[in-house]
């Protein structure tokens, strides 16, 4: 049983956060779509993993053109997912199990069906006329600048009522809010207060670096072709052709995040921001999380990239992060609702996937696990006619969209819907997933599910892994080695970690001192006489005696 929720303001530091995509977790009503009551029923599974918190993707009132990331009412539950009472019951059950609850706030844009936008687009003089980013056309009628939408094409949409363009960084039905307007900031902070008062322990902040656009609407410069391999959009998307200097990442965001933090602190609540930037992600994460006066955590895209996380990339990532802001606090993730599942994306065998799991548990920072990750689910192969994601439909077949990682959670193997729903699910359950259900893995001591439980327990049992420093990270070929350290005031602990992220053998030496082998139930290899020899995907974990 987990610890009872307390008043620790630093609960987030080193926490393991389990992401739930509510449409696909558990259907309790038989309509083929997951809902809040379904999540409540399945919370025991998450508690049994040893997670510290849950993050629930949007469940607010929405036309669902982007499946909840287009909000039309920030302070209510879409009937598809239930009611506010259902949400209250979910929070109560989660906290009884020792799980904190974080919810997904989408503050950079709303749905075009939101009453704010409905009013804003009426004319240029109403009370909310400046609540969204509006701009006159160029003299020739074309958009005001060259900004592009992540979902393809211009980021500007013509509106006949105002005879102006409005900004949309995503779908045309997702107009961007104008946070240069103080009234907009106040309204969004009130949204946070509403949910905190209902018992929420924190927020995942969608596209946190998109909150402000350049007030002068300057054109973005071109991105050199040799830099386009590191992106947050599929390679076929022209969004990658620009260096996004002016449509996001603006300095005014720092002051808004300070205001947001002031709302969080009285509740001992925390926020983790999604930094959607390929070129400056780590630097922006450092800016937003350092100093103790903005958000507590951010996750950049370094471990969500198509390229497999190698020992060299791991070393480079931490070196860059330490150079820009040593006190910044990352939140690492391999998979989420927007990326191809890492098992498939990196082409991992089960042995490799288990090693990457232990590596994640040993990193400095907080962690996000995406539903089904603990089962070792690969990306689902979805036929075009079954696609629901507008992003995938627009760029098919070169980019198949996000539906392959959003298919329903598999609880049982003995029915075609995996125990998710009594009805046809909104996305199909693939045969490759059925054999990896929770029920199929529950009692298997060698299963991925068992491995995740052990890995999370290992992190919890060693507080140095949650809050300590990560030092002396060195990559030699496929081998990455580092130490996690903690000063005497915190317990004076030290753990040595070595990971072979390749198929060939790897060798290294233990640091000086006396060391004791740990992590045996995870499959860790013990050092012999100070010598560490690791086979393919082997790892060594040693505690200083």
Listed in order, strand segments (DSSP E) in 78-155 are: 100-105, 134-135
Pairwise CA distance, residues 296 & 257, whole Å? 10
Question: 501 near 540, Cβ under 8 Å?
Answer: no
- Centre a 10 Å sphere on the Cβ of residue 510 and count the other Cβ atoms it contains: 19
Is the bond leading into 221 cis (omega within 30 degrees of zero)?
no
**Residue by residue, what is the 3-state secondary structure of 386-418?**
HCCCHHHHHHCCCCCCCHHHCCCCCCCCCCCCC
DSSP type of residue 112: T
Residue 528 phi/psi, 5° resolution? -120, 110
Query: Has 385 been annotated as catalytic?
Result: no
* 130 belongs to the catalytic site: no
Q: How far apart are CA 217 and CA 239, in angstroms?
A: 17
Check 206, 283, 287, 338 and give the catalytic one. 206
Q: What angle do CA 72, 78, 79 make, to 5 degrees?
A: 140
C-alpha distances (whole Å) from 19 to each of 45, 103, 360 are 13, 10, 16
Contacts of 284 (CB under 8 A, 6+ apart): 209, 249, 275, 277, 298, 300
Confirm if 62 and 71 have CB atoms less than 8 A apart.
yes
Lookup: tokens for 326: 């040593």
Q: Using the structure block, give the residue that is written with the tokens 């979910």.
A: 90
Q: How far apart are CA 52 and CA 175, in angstroms?
A: 34
Kindly tell me the sign of the dihedral angle through the C-alpha atoms of 12, 18, 24, 25.
negative
HEC assignment per residue over 210-271: HCCCCCCCCCCCECCHHHCCCCCCCCCCHHHHECCCCCCCCCCHHHHHHHHHHHHHHHCCEE
Give long-range contacts, CB 8 A cutoff, 24+ apart: 518-524.
518/458, 518/462, 518/542, 518/543, 519/358, 519/458, 521/454, 522/354, 522/358, 522/451, 522/454, 522/455, 522/458, 523/354, 523/358, 524/358
Contact present, 536 and 502 (Cβ < 8 Å): yes
Quote the CA–CA distance of 42 and 73 in Å, as a whole number: 26
Q: Which two tokens stand for residue 511?
A: 């640091």
Tokens of 170: 């995503």
- What residues contact 442, with CB distance under 8 A and at least 6 apart? 449
φ/ψ of 55, rounded to 5, equals -120, 120
Q: How many CB atoms lie within 10 A of CB 105?
A: 23
State the catalytic residue, choosing from 274, 277, 283, 287: 274
Tell me the catalytic residues: 206, 274
């Amino acid at each position: 049983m987990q610890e009872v929720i307390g008043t620790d303001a630093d609960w987030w530091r080193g926490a393991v956060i389990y992401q739930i995509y509510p449409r696909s977790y558990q259907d309790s009503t038989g309509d083929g779509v997951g809902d809040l009551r379904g999540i409540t029923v399945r919370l025991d599974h998450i508690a049994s993993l040893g997670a510290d918190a849950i993050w629930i993707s949007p469940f607010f009132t929405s036309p669902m053109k982007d499946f909840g990331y287009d909000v039309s009412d920030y302070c209510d539950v879409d009937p598809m997912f239930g009611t506010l009472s259902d949400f209250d019951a979910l929070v109560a059950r989660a906290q009884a199990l020792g799980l904190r609850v974080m919810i997904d706030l989408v503050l950079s844009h709303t749905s075009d069906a939101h009453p704010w936008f409905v009013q804003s687009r009426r004319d240029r003089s109403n009370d909310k006329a400046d609540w969204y980013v509006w701009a006159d056309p160029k003299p020739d009628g074309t958009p005001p600048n060259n900004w592009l939408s992540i979902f393809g094409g211009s980021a500007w949409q013509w509106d006949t009522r105002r005879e102006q363009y409005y900004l949309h960084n995503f779908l045309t039905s997702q107009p961007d809010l104008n946070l240069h307007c103080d009234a907009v900031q106040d309204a969004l902070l009130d949204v946070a207060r509403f949910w905190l008062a209902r018992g929420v322990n924190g927020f995942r902040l969608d596209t946190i670096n998109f909150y402000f656009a350049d007030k002068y609407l300057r054109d973005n410069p071109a991105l050199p072709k040799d830099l386009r391999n590191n992106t947050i959009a599929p390679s076929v998307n022209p969004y990658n052709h620009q260096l996004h200097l002016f449509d996001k990442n603006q300095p005014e965001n720092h002051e808004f995040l300070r205001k947001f933090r002031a709302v969080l602190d009285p509740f001992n609540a925390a926020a983790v921001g999604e930094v959607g930037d390929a070129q400056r992600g780590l630097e922006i994460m450092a800016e937003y999380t350092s100093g103790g006066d903005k958000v507590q955590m951010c996750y950049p895209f370094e471990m969500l990239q198509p390229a497999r996380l190698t020992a060299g990339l791991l070393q480079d990532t931490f070196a860059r992060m330490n150079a820009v802001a040593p006190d910044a606090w990352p939140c690492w993730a391999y998979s989420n609702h927007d990326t191809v599942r890492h098992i498939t994306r990196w082409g991992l065998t089960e042995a490799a996937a288990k090693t990457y799991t232990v590596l994640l548990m040993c990193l400095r920072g907080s962690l996000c696990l995406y539903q089904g990750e603990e089962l070792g689910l690969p990306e689902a192969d979805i036929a075009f006619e079954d696609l629901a994601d507008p992003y995938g439909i627009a760029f098919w077949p070169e980019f198949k969209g996000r539906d392959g990682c959003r298919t329903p959670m598999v609880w049982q193997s003995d029915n075609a819907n995996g125990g998710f729903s009594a009805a046809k699910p909104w996305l199909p359950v693939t045969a490759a997933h059925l054999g990896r259900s929770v029920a199929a893995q529950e009692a298997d001591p060698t299963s991925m599910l068992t491995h995740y439980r052990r890995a999370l327990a290992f992190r919890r049992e060693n507080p140095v892994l949650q809050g300590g420093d990560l030092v002396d990270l060195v990559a030699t070929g496929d081998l990455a080695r580092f130490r996690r350290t903690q000063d005497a005031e915190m317990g004076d602990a030290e753990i040595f970690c070595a990971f072979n992220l390749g198929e060939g053998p790897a060798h290294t030496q233990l640091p000086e001192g006396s060391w004791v082998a740990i992590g045996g139930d995870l499959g860790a290899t013990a050092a012999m006489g100070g010598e560490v020899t690791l086979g393919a995907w082997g790892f060594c974990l040693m505690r200083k005696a």
